[in-house]
Chain A
């Protein structure tokens, strides 16, 4: 096994790991070695082709279809340089004060989170798109909301030079999305941080990480790793885990920390979601322009959020309910389709968790609670109302029976759409806002870390990603992840004398 000495090893390069890499970069000026291990590859700019199956395979874990243990929910999370920030739409919201307060984590207050979020929003060029860059798919959502007396809000997004390819979730082909792959990681590398791609952290030992570096497969996208393929033991004064809400708890469980930390892996939430489509009589612009410009936040009142979205042929087909001629007819109407993503604000509940099998394989256990099913049903009714108000002639609603609703049924939505139609395994549900598993809190009995990402009882081990969330965030999480990661880095810098001298 190869041996490497470092001062800090960061595992993961997404919103958490990328942020921490940049924040710790000044250590390199003092001669400290800061390493980032990223399991995925770094792609060349010309490898972002927008080809759905190729990009999904290159950028996502399990091509974006990681199945839960129950087999009823797919999870989409990035596995590439920049993690999920390479594949999100760049929507940039600051967490609501009521959510952070409800988390009830000592020494974590909303003002601090909001201040850090604003800093990263400025750093990552977050702004509202001008009106002439908003496509019909988004305009119709805003119009539909307005016509039923609700105010859709515009998403601030972190793009710079967006050409409107609509391909954000397949990696921006125009390098316009300002994720950690475009901002924090390059800055860190320029300052002297070393980012090693294709490097999978297998387990953590006392002040050390065991990692395996892989070579590219034949025909696989991405540059080779800077390190030779093989196994490495990387010894470091501090290890920061930022592998995301699935990867981080799984790695710690695989490394035996579950014995110290009974809450490890618990409290997994994910904003389970599905899409509705509304069919219009005329063509609309939907597969051009930024896909996600507006949202309707009903989290506090009704436990859901609606967002505009526009997916690609396969993902769209997969997310529609059913199959056969009706399904095909809807797919053929693609140029006339408006799309809305419905997200339930789920709660951390016992049983929904990350675990590892005896062989170390990562498992995610997730059951849909009655509250989630009800939220999805209410959200479906609201989305259908918005479609019809915007002029749609038909709406495909997963929780309606049959799923196709016509305009003539627009006043019967409460009767036609029901949570009883939610049948796990039949209803296509996916999630991309993965949270929890290494929750912040007070003690090892109720959490995994303190409010600064310090793992209880293991001073050299830190967490800096969405796994820190004690409960659902109820909005798009990436700015909050960056804020928490920034706190993790700040605490580590504050503790550096003790860490590096010990």
Chain B
């Protein structure tokens, strides 16, 4: 099985923006690139993990509705981060692991993009010193 983020696209993107504010500036092809990378990573994992990730995103969306009266996508990035920070600092390991897993996926999707590497000034080159001197 390979998971599609399409079923949780809005809350997933809202979470990505909370983790990496710059991702809000991505255009649609940029988002697709990010999501493809995440889907590719999830496809390598057991089906149970894939389902857990989708379930977690749905639970976070429900939590946002319960606490703030709006889905994740309708909250301000600051409100999303406040929610995620509380969960990240939770006494419950399962919640901390969940946030850690989601942030890892968001970072994977965003920072694996060649455009991102260039934008943060990462310049590693196969030619090493020769490319710099």
Identify the A interface with B (CB < 8 A). 49-50, 52-53, 57, 62-63, 65, 70-72, 133, 162-167, 173-174, 285, 287-289, 312-314, 316-318, 322-325, 327-328, 331-332, 334-335, 423-426, 428
Chain A residues lying within 8 Å of B41, measured Cβ to Cβ, are 53, 63
Closest CB pairs A-B (n = 9): A425-B96, A164-B128, A163-B128, A335-B121, A317-B107, A313-B111, A165-B128, A323-B19, A314-B111
The SS class assigned to the B binding surface is: helix
Which of B21, B111, B128 neighbours the largest number of chain A CB atoms within 10 Å of its CB? B128
Chain A residues lying within 8 Å of B132, measured Cβ to Cβ, are 285, 288
Query: Which residues of B in the span 65-85 have a Cβ within 8 Å of any Cβ on A?
Result: 77, 81, 84
What is the CB-to-nearest-CB distance from A231 to chain B, in angstroms, rounded to a whole number?
22
**Interface residue tally for chain B (C-beta within 8 Å):** 45
Q: Is B112 an interface residue (CB 8 A)?
A: yes
Choose among A133, A173, A285 the residue that contacts B126 (Cβ–Cβ < 8 A).
A173
Chain A residues lying within 8 Å of B122, measured Cβ to Cβ, are 287, 312-313, 334-335
Chain A residues lying within 8 Å of B44, measured Cβ to Cβ, are 57, 62-63
Query: Which residues of B in the span 90-128 have a Cβ within 8 Å of any Cβ on A?
Result: 93, 96-97, 99-101, 103-104, 106-108, 110-112, 116-117, 119-128
Q: A313-B122, A318-B108, A328-B21 are in contact. List 15 more A-B contacts (CB 8 A).
A: A50-B125, A53-B108, A62-B45, A65-B104, A71-B93, A72-B93, A163-B130, A287-B122, A312-B124, A313-B120, A323-B18, A328-B20, A332-B121, A424-B93, A426-B99
Whether A313 pairs with B112 at a CB distance below 8 angstroms is: yes
Whether A323 pairs with B112 at a CB distance below 8 angstroms is: no
Q: Which residue of B is nearest A164, CB measured?
A: B128
Chain A residues lying within 8 Å of B124, measured Cβ to Cβ, are 50, 165-167, 287-288, 312
Q: Is B37 an interface residue (CB 8 A)?
A: yes
What is the CB-to-nearest-CB distance from B25 to chain A, in angstroms, rounded to a whole number?
11
Chain B residues lying within 8 Å of A425, measured Cβ to Cβ, are 93, 96-97, 100
Whether A426 touches B96, Cβ cut-off 8 Å, given contacts A53-B108, A312-B122, A325-B21, is yes
Chain A residues lying within 8 Å of B97, measured Cβ to Cβ, are 71-72, 425
What is the CB-to-nearest-CB distance from A212 to chain B, in angstroms, rounded to a whole number?
18
Whether A289 pairs with B108 at a CB distance below 8 angstroms is: no
In the bound complex, CA of A53 to CA of B101 (Å): 17
What is the CB-to-nearest-CB distance from B76 to chain A, in angstroms, rounded to a whole number?
12
Instruction: Pull 18 A–B residue pairs with CB atoms less than 8 Å apart, ordered by A.
Output: A50-B124, A50-B126, A53-B37, A53-B112, A71-B97, A133-B129, A163-B127, A163-B130, A165-B125, A174-B128, A287-B124, A288-B129, A316-B111, A324-B21, A328-B22, A332-B120, A426-B96, A426-B99
Whether A428 touches B120, Cβ cut-off 8 Å, given contacts A163-B127, A323-B84, is no
In the bound complex, CA of A111 to CA of B124 (Å): 41
What is the CB-to-nearest-CB distance from B75 to chain A, in angstroms, rounded to a whole number?
14
Chain A residues lying within 8 Å of B7, measured Cβ to Cβ, are none
Whether B127 pairs with A423 at a CB distance below 8 angstroms is: no
In the bound complex, CA of A165 to CA of B130 (Å): 9
Whether B127 pairs with A334 at a CB distance below 8 angstroms is: no
Chain A residues lying within 8 Å of B4, measured Cβ to Cβ, are none
What is the CB-to-nearest-CB distance from B88 to chain A, in angstroms, rounded to a whole number?
5
In the bound complex, CA of A62 to CA of B21 (Å): 28
Whether A166 pairs with B22 at a CB distance below 8 angstroms is: no
In the bound complex, CA of A323 to CA of B21 (Å): 9
Q: Which residue of A is nearest B130, CB measured?
A: A163
What is the CB-to-nearest-CB distance from B72 to chain A, in angstroms, rounded to a whole number?
14
Whether A70 touches B93, Cβ cut-off 8 Å, given contacts A287-B123, A313-B112, A334-B122, is yes
Choose among B45, B121, B125 the residue that contacts A288 (Cβ–Cβ < 8 A).
B125
Chain B residues lying within 8 Å of A335, measured Cβ to Cβ, are 121-123
Whether B117 pairs with A428 at a CB distance below 8 angstroms is: no
Chain B residues lying within 8 Å of A285, measured Cβ to Cβ, are 132
Whether A314 touches B19, Cβ cut-off 8 Å, given contacts A164-B128, A166-B124, is no
Choose among B21, B81, B84, B100 the residue that contacts A428 (Cβ–Cβ < 8 A).
B100
Chain B residues lying within 8 Å of A57, measured Cβ to Cβ, are 40, 44
Whether B88 pairs with A288 at a CB distance below 8 angstroms is: no
Choose among A65, A133, A318, A331 the residue that contacts B120 (Cβ–Cβ < 8 A).
A331
Whether B121 pairs with A324 at a CB distance below 8 angstroms is: no
Chain B residues lying within 8 Å of A424, measured Cβ to Cβ, are 93, 96
Q: Which residue of B is nearest A173, CB measured?
A: B126
Chain B residues lying within 8 Å of A165, measured Cβ to Cβ, are 124-128
Whether A423 pairs with B89 at a CB distance below 8 angstroms is: yes
What is the CB-to-nearest-CB distance from B8 to chain A, in angstroms, rounded to a whole number?
18
In the bound complex, CA of A335 to CA of B117 (Å): 11
Chain B residues lying within 8 Å of A314, measured Cβ to Cβ, are 107-108, 111-112
What is the CB-to-nearest-CB distance from B56 to chain A, in angstroms, rounded to a whole number?
12
Chain A residues lying within 8 Å of B99, measured Cβ to Cβ, are 426
In the bound complex, CA of A111 to CA of B132 (Å): 44
Query: Which residues of B in the span 38-76 have a Cβ within 8 Å of any Cβ on A?
Result: 40-41, 44-45
In the bound complex, CA of A163 to CA of B101 (Å): 35
In the bound complex, CA of A72 to CA of B93 (Å): 9
Whether B21 pairs with A426 at a CB distance below 8 angstroms is: no
